[in-house]
Structure 1
Amino acid sequence: MDKDLLDALDEMLAYTDQPIETGCHLADAFGSSDMTLELGDLPPFLDQQGITQQHNDTIDTQASTPSPSQDPQRRGKDVRTTPYAKPKPRRRKRPKDELDYLRSQVKDLQEELAKLSPSSDSEGSHDDELFVQWKRIADRQKAETDRSMVENLKLRSMLEGQLKVARSLEAAIQHQQEEAAQLLSLHRVKAALNSIEGGGRPRAASLSDGLIFAQLNIGLEAQYAEFDSVMDRTGLAKALQSPNKIQTLHTPEGIAFRHEEARLLPFSMPAVHRAMWSCMRFGKAEGLTGRIHTRVLNNDHLNVTIVDKVQLPKAHSIDTCARLAMRRYFEQNRIIVVWRGYVEITGSFFVRLRERGYTSVSAFDFSTNAEVRSSSSSSIPGCALRMALQTKPEMDEFDSEEEAKDHVGEMTDLVVGSYHRNFGLMYQIIENLLFRDSTGGEVDEQELARFATY
């Protein structure tokens, strides 16, 4: 009986996966410690003892009653041939605990979601408000910038107009001052010459070179400022070739001469300008029969005196003395030279010519038959030369109007013949210098440095 009881107990204890600790009740083996009853739910100790005694009596009765399946031969000795099959230990599932745990987790997550949802909504709304504010600021700044640009354009156009007016007034005032100074000096010279004993027609030879060049140098800046307007007025701004001739003009102020010319040269722009400038700057005009004296104010400003004796056909021998103030200006795609001069011609009568000259050289490409920005950008380099010359004579005072008319024709032949001779000689000298330059002639280092950008 005791052995059967022990076997039954072993079978009952086999449902737990852990051994029963000492001092624990049998009920502890069927559940975790956290599922035990509270102290108030425990039955009294005597009741528990009675229940245990009744349970033991029941077990004894069942053990004393013979089992129908047992063999009668084995009643005397209760020996089992095979041991009891112990069930595999298994862990009891407690769905209630898992449910409670999941419910608590769900509750915690819901609380956290409830806390985060207002903050995310508020952050999103804050970002939207911030974007709207920045957009308004950007729109306002753009509108202010556009308004400022429009205002600046208005102010710029107004200032440009005022600047043009100021420059025109400055040029007019300067021209008036120059005319007044020239007339004053001329009257002084005439008065001094008229007082010379021996009589005869007055001459301007006694006028000092310093005073003449001072007057000539003053007007070069104003002459450079009107270069484009002169080229547009004469039609040379777009012309590439024009006939070489001198025009005689009859104006209310008297007779005047005008020479306009445009031609293409098969040489680069720097080479042509160096040849023209070298005629005066370095005294390379060897073909000139006269004497050249050059005073260099700087590399771009010269005062030149040329004294020559010219023999013209159908005329007597004449002596010329030219005083020229020359200055050059380098621009991005061209080089401009302006000059002012007094040319005195002494022959059968005395003539003083007031001269204003404008000339420019620009790069030309013969492959495209068009002007270019620089000679280096053209495949077949060339040069476009443009020149405008304005001459106004001042003759001696004649005793009568008939005498003055008689000398007009002679003066015209004299001026036209001298200019044809001088220009023809100048172009011949320039061609010689260009040929020498192209065949490896010596070139001034300073001049080469000035043309490095061209």
Structure 2
Amino acid sequence: MTSLYSPLSFIQKPIAAAGELEPEVATRSPTYASPVSSELEGSTSESDSEVLLSLFGPEPPVGISSSRSSSSKSPTTTDLSDRGGRPFPYTRSKTRWRKRPNDELKYLRMQVVELEGLLAALSHSNTRSKLLKYRDEDQGDNNQAEALQRLREESHTRKMNAAMMENRKLRAMVASQLQVANALQNAIDEHKRLRTQKMSWPSQGDVSDNVIFALLDEEKEHQYADVDRILEECGISQICYPLYSRLLLHRDGDKVSYQHNEVRMLPFPVGDVARSLRNCLNHGVRVGPMKHCRHFESFGKYFHAVTMDNLKMPDNEPAEVKSRVLQLCIPQSERTVVVWSGYAEYSGSKFIRLLEKTYISLEPIPMEKLGMFTLGGKSPGTLMRLAVRLTPVETEYDMQKPEDIEEMADVVVRTYQRKGQRTFQAMLEQLKEKM
């Protein structure tokens, strides 16, 4: 005997009121494939369709009988929850997997591609612009403007750092070139100084004053540059008290020279002392008894002068001393520098030609250090540092014989003392007129 189960079995309650249908879905079992005859299928198809239409069919239009309208109402909430919210129940088992729609797969693939691109951008070293693009899409125009501003500032900072590095390199290069140029200039100056020291002086006899002054003019700038070095070597550059000495003989191997170092403190302003030094040679032309200055010519900061003196040595032998002198005076911020170079010829029993170089530094000093009390408004005094170098460039004395050296030294010292006394006396006479 063959058992036949209908596809769906429903148990309906009686109608409580007209036009109201409250069906209740009975417990259903899944359908199983069973052989049925064609007659049974034909008889049940019509009843099944009517049941489905009465449960889930569309609402009939107005005018349909109450039986049809009552059968067309939608199922209750209990029926929908029992079916999981589906309009039609499954006719087969729910144990199978549901296939995803194509549009959902397409969307997920696009998300994967976008995330892979972002991962590649994060992994890249130069991710600034790519990250900025993704972030700007999310944050809007304001954040984009801020990001661009920061990017411009960073670019400007990088350019400034690069420019500063380039400037440092250029500065170092210029400094090295300047150092090389200074070294070359010092070498040139040293070469000139050595050449002037080895210059050939004119032989004994009548020599033009122009030739002598040309030689002295060539040497004056180098002498001015050596002022600090000479004062430092002789040890008076830091002395601020009176120091007196005599002209002393100095021997260095076969070379003979004479040196004199002195420090004086004068109660007169620096300008007056410098002016008295400038006029000390031609002062004798006006008031001096000897009228020893024969020629005086000024050239602004320096002048040329020719002097003549007649001396008597201890043996009553007359002697004549002729000097060509150049004096250069340069005021500085804290002091005044005076350099003095001369070419002197001593004509007596024997001939001597001397090259004289004098280095003078005039600095202001308070009057209290001079032991003088001022009444206010008094100008400071003057601290005068003086270094003299005398070198015989030509002589008839034998420099290998000690007795000839001593005789020549006696002549040079006497001549220098007379000249120094005359010069200092002329300075004091001029300074006394300023008091």
Classify the TM-score, shorter chain: 0.5 to 0.7
Give the distance between the partners of 2:155 and 2:391, measured in 1 at CA.
69
Equivalent residue for 2:207? 207
Equivalent residue for 1:303? 304
Counterpart of 1:422, as a letter, is K
Equivalent residue for 1:277? 278
Give the distance between the partners of 1:364 and 1:313, measured in 2 at CA.
41
Equivalent residue for 1:327? 328
Give the distance between the partners of 1:290 and 1:434, measured in 2 at CA.
20
- Structure 1 vs Structure 2 CA RMSD: 3.3
- Structure 1 residues 151 and 312 mapped into 2: Cα distance closer, same or farther (>3 Å)? farther
Give the distance between the partners of 1:136 and 1:283, measured in 2 at CA.
79
Identify unmatched segments of 5+ residues in structure 1: 1-117, 187-203, 370-377, 439-454
Per-residue Cα deviation, 1:400-429 (whole angstroms, up to 9, x for no partner): 788x54332221111112222222332222
8 Å Cα contact 1:279-1:285 kept in structure 2? no
Report whether the alignment pairs 1:167 with 2:167: no
- Structure 1 residues 147 and 405 mapped into 2: Cα distance closer, same or farther (>3 Å)? same
Aligned with 1:412 (options 405, 409, 428): 409
Equivalent residue for 1:13? none
8 Å Cα contact 1:367-1:380 kept in structure 2? no
| CA deviation after TM superposition for structure 1 residue 234, in Å | 1.7
Per-residue Cα deviation, 1:165-212 (whole angstroms, up to 9, x for no partner): 423333323542563332xx32xxxxxxxxxxxxxxxxx341121111
Aligned with 1:433 (options 423, 430, 435): 430
Report whether the alignment pairs 1:152 with 2:171: yes
Q: What is the SS of the residue equivalent to 2:142?
A: helix
8 Å Cα contact 1:290-1:309 kept in structure 2? no
- Structure 1 residues 219 and 410 mapped into 2: Cα distance closer, same or farther (>3 Å)? same
TM-score, normalised by the number of residues in structure 2: 0.59
Q: Percentage identity across aligned positions?
A: 20
Give the distance between the partners of 1:382 and 1:401, measured in 2 at CA.
44
Equivalent residue for 1:452? none
The count of aligned residue pairs is: 293
Per-residue Cα deviation, 1:5-37 (whole angstroms, up to 9, x for no partner): xxxxxxxxxxxxxxxxxxxxxxxxxxxxxxxxx
| CA deviation after TM superposition for structure 1 residue 248, in Å | 0.7
Equivalent residue for 1:193? none
- Structure 1 residues 291 and 145 mapped into 2: Cα distance closer, same or farther (>3 Å)? same
Counterpart of 1:406, as a letter, is E
Per-residue Cα deviation, 1:250-298 (whole angstroms, up to 9, x for no partner): 1223321011112221111111101111223666774462421344251
Structure 1 stretch 255-264 or stretch 139-148: which is displaced more?
Answer: 139-148
Q: What is the SS of the residue equivalent to 2:232?
A: helix
- Structure 1 residues 156 and 282 mapped into 2: Cα distance closer, same or farther (>3 Å)? farther
Q: What is the SS of the residue equivalent to 1:219?
A: helix
Equivalent residue for 2:142? 123
| CA deviation after TM superposition for structure 1 residue 359, in Å | 1.3
| 4+ aligned runs moved over 4 Å, structure 1 | 118-121, 281-285, 312-315
Structure with greater proportional helix content:
1
| CA deviation after TM superposition for structure 1 residue 323, in Å | 0.8
Q: What is the SS of the residue equivalent to 1:267?
A: coil
Structure 1 stretch 264-273 or stretch 167-176: which is displaced more?
Answer: 167-176
Equivalent residue for 1:422? 419
Equivalent residue for 1:360? 361
8 Å Cα contact 1:290-1:308 kept in structure 2? no
- Structure 1 residues 320 and 380 mapped into 2: Cα distance closer, same or farther (>3 Å)? same
Give the distance between the partners of 1:218 and 1:342, measured in 2 at CA.
13
Q: What is the SS of the residue equivalent to 2:364?
A: strand
Q: What is the SS of the residue equivalent to 1:180?
A: coil
| CA deviation after TM superposition for structure 1 residue 156, in Å | 2.6
| CA deviation after TM superposition for structure 1 residue 137, in Å | 1.6
TM-score, normalised by the number of residues in structure 1: 0.57
Superposition map of 1:189-268 within 5 A: 204-240=204-240, 241-268=242-269
| CA deviation after TM superposition for structure 1 residue 381, in Å | 0.6
- Structure 1 residues 314 and 124 mapped into 2: Cα distance closer, same or farther (>3 Å)? farther
Per-residue Cα deviation, 1:210-240 (whole angstroms, up to 9, x for no partner): 1111111111111112222222222222222
- Structure 1 residues 214 and 380 mapped into 2: Cα distance closer, same or farther (>3 Å)? closer
Per-residue Cα deviation, 1:429-450 (whole angstroms, up to 9, x for no partner): 2122112112xxxxxxxxxxxx
- Structure 1 residues 290 and 284 mapped into 2: Cα distance closer, same or farther (>3 Å)? closer
Counterpart of 2:351, as a letter, is F
Q: What is the SS of the residue equivalent to 1:260?
A: strand
8 Å Cα contact 2:284-2:291 kept in structure 1? no
Give the distance between the partners of 2:158 and 2:257, measured in 1 at CA.
65
Q: What is the SS of the residue equivalent to 1:257?
A: strand
Q: What is the SS of the residue equivalent to 1:181?
A: coil
Give the distance between the partners of 1:140 and 1:379, measured in 2 at CA.
61
| CA deviation after TM superposition for structure 1 residue 308, in Å | 0.7
Identify unmatched segments of 5+ residues in structure 2: 1-136, 371-376
Give the distance between the partners of 2:269 and 2:213, measured in 1 at CA.
32
- Structure 1 residues 124 and 279 mapped into 2: Cα distance closer, same or farther (>3 Å)? farther
